[in-house]
Amino acid sequence: MAPSISKMDLSNMRARSLMFHDVVENGDYQSSGFPGEGAHLYKLERAPFERHLAAIAAAAPSVATLPALAPNSVLLTFDDGGASFHHPIAPLLEQHGWRGHFFITTDRIGTPGFLTEAQILDLHRRGHVVGSHSCSHPTRMSALSRPELDREWRQSLARLSAILGEPVTVASVPGGFYSSQVGQSAQAAGIRALFTSEPTARISSLAGCLVLGRYSLQRGMGPEWSAGFAAGRPAQCLRQAALWKAKRIAKTLGGTAYLKLRTALLDRNSP
Ligand SMILES: [Zn+2]
């Protein structure tokens, strides 16, 4: 299915992609994905995740998987490769008749809290899209040299392709540290669809590699957020975009300025 991605007509094409990470049960945040409070902020409990899915079902015209994009498709993506992709995430998506995009940190395959090779193959056989999230999940992907980037993409794709028995051509950028060099390396490694963390529905193309933004869901965000992202509502989409832009500007100004901006944006729109 992958080769047709690069042949799609991108004129006016938009996709609203949602970025999730792990979904944990009984408050066990250690059970899936990377440890540490920084990572745990991106993990959802099962009940809130189910409320997000119900909200998406009510708000979205359709939930799709690559390469079958229709105008304004909603895509569900999951980063890091935690064990929760196999259970409970995949069965919960399947209850809605949906499939997800699951991005795997390949150095972690088979280690505690992460998917095994057999589970990755099972997800693929059930119709989910499996992609790379690099080998090592570098802290700042965009700070790597080109040879280091090439190794991260090529070796992770090779590992996943060997597990699935067919070429893997989709990926997501760890930590959202996208740069043009990160994209060029991905394209050269054979990636045909690359998800970033820029909150936008626009799709761009880099020499045949689609670059897609994503709206991020974190712990504590209610279902109005997932519904808003899925429906393309400005209250949620523009607010996250404003925060993301403020973050980028503030990174050049210094950390304190970013925190002030973030507080201001969050306070202004708090329910
Ligand atoms: Zn990640």
Q: What is the pLDDT of residues 65-100, one digit of tens each?
A: 998 888 788 999 999 999 999 999 999 999 999 999
| C-alpha 61 – ligand 1 centre gap (Å) | 28
pLDDT at 120 over 70: yes
Give which of 214, 136, 124 is closest to 168, Cα–Cα: 124
| C-alpha 148 – ligand 1 centre gap (Å) | 17
Instruction: Specify whether the CB–CB gap between 109 and 117 falls below 8 A.
Output: yes
Domain ranges of the chain: 2-232, 234-271
- Measure the CA–CA gap between 84 and 33, rounded to whole angstroms: 8
| C-alpha 43 – ligand 1 centre gap (Å) | 11
- Measure the CA–CA gap between 90 and 262, rounded to whole angstroms: 33
pLDDT at 271 over 70: no
| C-alpha 174 – ligand 1 centre gap (Å) | 4
| C-alpha 137 – ligand 1 centre gap (Å) | 6
Indicate the SS3 state at residue 87.
Answer: coil
Q: What's the pLDDT band for 258 if we cut at 50, 70, 90?
A: low
Average pLDDT over residues 27-51: 96
pLDDT at 1 over 50: no
| C-alpha 78 – ligand 1 centre gap (Å) | 9
| C-alpha 77 – ligand 1 centre gap (Å) | 11
Instruction: Specify whether the CB–CB gap between 200 and 175 falls below 8 A.
Output: no
> Three-state secondary structure along 228-261?
HHHHCCHHHHHHHHHHHHHHHHHHHHCHHHHHHH
What does the pLDDT read at residue 24? 97
| C-alpha 181 – ligand 1 centre gap (Å) | 18
- Residue 205 in tokens: 């193309």
Sequence-distant (≥ 6) Cβ neighbours of residue 213 within 8 angstroms: 17, 195, 196, 197, 198, 199, 200, 201, 202
Instruction: Specify whether the CB–CB gap between 115 and 54 falls below 8 A.
Output: no
Q: How many Cα atoms occupy the beta-carbon half-sphere of 63 within 13 Å?
A: 25
| C-alpha 64 – ligand 1 centre gap (Å) | 22
Give which of 184, 134, 138 is closest to 158, Cα–Cα: 134
What does the pLDDT read at residue 251? 72
What does the pLDDT read at residue 54? 98
| C-alpha 80 – ligand 1 centre gap (Å) | 5
pLDDT at 146 over 60: yes
Q: What's the pLDDT band for 102 if we cut at 50, 70, 90?
A: very high
| C-alpha 139 – ligand 1 centre gap (Å) | 9
Q: What's the pLDDT band for 261 if we cut at 50, 70, 90?
A: low
| C-alpha 220 – ligand 1 centre gap (Å) | 19
Return the exposure string of 85-100: e unless at least 16 CB atoms fall within 10 Å of the residue's CB, then b.
bbebbbebbeeeebbb
| C-alpha 159 – ligand 1 centre gap (Å) | 18
What does the pLDDT read at residue 196? 97
State how beta strands 63-64 and 73-78 pair: parallel
Give Cα separations from 52 to 18, 128, 228, 266 (angstroms): 11, 19, 11, 20
* Structural class in CATH, domain 2-232: alpha beta
- Measure the CA–CA gap between 211 and 5, rounded to whole angstroms: 11
